[in-house]
Amino acid sequence: MGAQTSLQADRKDVVAALDAIRRMVRTLRTSATDIERSTGLSAAQTFVLALLAEEPAESMNDLAARTLTDQSSVSVVVSRLEAKGLVERGQSSSDARRTRVRITEAGRARLAGRPVTVQARLIRALETLPPMALAQLGEHLTHVTMLMGSAHEPPSMLFEEDDPTGTT
């Protein structure tokens, strides 16, 4: 009887964890759909545009740090935004070797009245966790991705489609 009770408790914990993941994925998906519907941009593009509306980026590395992702992922998003005339790149005023990225007036207009991005909400929620809990969450989620066989997948920006051709 003890083994059965333990198994049921373990299953209860799996259900609780899976339900939390389901809620999170649902929130991410529906928010991304709402953003795309209201802006005509992907959630990742809207997230980057909103960050640039707050302050231009002095380099792609600066913008990558602000998006909590890597430089190549954010570069793809910026290229797509630039192609739509919503951002522009130029030489950084502080370092000529860097590329400054800023939002255009068309980009500001596209953001008018848009909801807060789910990325911003998720980052805010994670930042409210105690440091040890956040570190443990990161470790546990990394372990789950390893067990699922997806630890090798690139951690690209949320809801930005990969470009199968390698171009933007």
DSSP conformational letter for 92: -
Integer Cα distance of 118 and 46 in angstroms:
10
What is the residue-level pLDDT of the chain in tens, covering all 168 positions?
Answer: 555 556 566 788 889 999 999 999 999 899 888 888 888 999 999 999 999 999 999 999 999 999 999 888 899 999 999 999 999 998 877 777 778 999 999 999 998 888 788 888 999 999 999 999 999 999 999 999 999 999 888 887 887 765 544 444
Instruction: List the structure tokens of 2.
Output: 């003890």
- Tell which CATH architecture fits domain 2-148: Orthogonal Bundle (1.10)
Integer Cα distance of 60 and 98 in angstroms:
8
Residues 6+ apart with CB under 8 A from 63: 48, 51, 52, 57, 74, 78, 101
Write down the pTM of the prediction.
Answer: 0.80
Domain ranges of the chain: 2-148
